[in-house]
Amino acid sequence: MRNITLGLSGLTVPAIAVGCMRITSVEKTEAERFIKTALELGAFFFDHADIYGQGECEERFAEAIGMNPRVRESICLQSKCGIRSGVAFDFSKEHILAAADGILKRLKTEYLDVLLLHRPDALMEPEEVAEAFNILHNRGKVRHFGVSNHNPYQIRLLTKYVRQPIVVNQLQLSITNSSMISQGLHVNMSEQDAVDRDGGVLDFCRLKDITIQTWSPLQYGFFDGPFLGNKKFPKLNAKIDEIAAKYGVSNTTIAVAWLLRHPAQLQPVIGTWKISRFAECVKAAEIKLSREEWYALFIAAGNTLP
């Protein structure tokens, strides 16, 4: 597995992260086999969130991997907090501290490598976030911090108060959900693709050395389903299949390779718990698409060029 540096953390991590939101969809023995295979493939970075299964996903993971000090030191663990069921979002100091303690207890670990704030909180008081981060960092409970689904100004507001660098921003990105890329190609144009929906977050993160982790890298819409093999995307699938045949790999591999080709050093978070499909995703780290192939896929997905 090819590795990348995670933002300004100094951590060397796999180019592909394991998303654990669906771990409860498989039996314990299957989860154990999956994790064992992922580690053998070099995928030792695991992404969680306290909202996934209302904490059950973290518990299931700790059980499946057989968490102990030796195992813990061989992996990177990331989780997210800030979404409260029945409330909305909560970045208060009290909630962040309580959420972090709950995550650590469920994962059976004394520390997280990375903790992300999960979706923006309109009532955020950045001074409180800074206090919470300082307490967690000083007590050794969290080593690095990041955000999810934040735009540049929300990050800048945080960093005015937060002492630790923001090392990750987890954002939705796939061939079919690539507005953060397309808007940069349509600067100063009047068409729909020129609409800036995220404040230039892609370039901002590159400027600030913040790693973008891409969620739903094989989905279209907002969890509307996979685009691979989907009749809604005939041109895209035909082009993916053509390129896959050239490289002798699956369509899944090419879809992930499209993300990895971007110079931003993206880290796709892969949510499948099927061993064969995950292995196809990992293989993408061995392929570098040509410029012509990358743009051909971008256009086949329905994106336009000025």
Give one word for 66, left, alpha or beta, with left for phi > 0 and alpha for psi -120 to 50. left
Element (H, E) at 276: helix 275-283
Rg of the chain in Å (alpha carbons): 19
Contact partners, residue 98, CB within 8 Å, separation at least 6: none
Q: What is the pLDDT of residues 170-223, one digit of tens each?
A: 999 999 999 999 999 999 999 889 999 999 999 999 999 999 999 999 999 988
Annotated catalytic residues are 52
pLDDT in tens, the chain (306 residues): 999 999 999 999 999 999 999 999 999 999 999 999 999 999 999 999 999 999 999 999 999 999 999 999 999 999 999 999 888 999 999 999 999 999 999 999 999 999 999 999 999 999 999 999 999 999 999 999 999 999 999 999 999 999 999 999 999 999 999 999 999 999 999 988 999 999 999 999 999 999 999 999 999 998 899 999 999 999 999 999 999 999 999 999 999 999 999 999 999 999 999 999 999 999 999 999 999 999 999 999 999 999
Element (H, E) at 214: strand 211-215
Third-level CATH fold of 3-233+264-286:
TIM Barrel (3.20.20)
Q: Which two tokens stand for residue 240?
A: 């993916």
What residue ranges do the domains of the chain occupy?
3-233+264-286
Give the position of tokens 């934040």: 150
Q: What is the pTM of this model?
A: 0.97
Contact indicator for 104, 141 with CB cutoff of 8 Å:
yes
Q: Which two tokens stand for residue 151?
A: 């735009």
Q: What is the pLDDT of residues 14-46, one digit of tens each?
A: 999 999 999 999 999 999 999 999 999 999 999
C-alpha span between 251 and 255 (Å, rounded): 6
AA letter at 55: G
C-alpha span between 12 and 100 (Å, rounded): 23
AA letter at 223: F
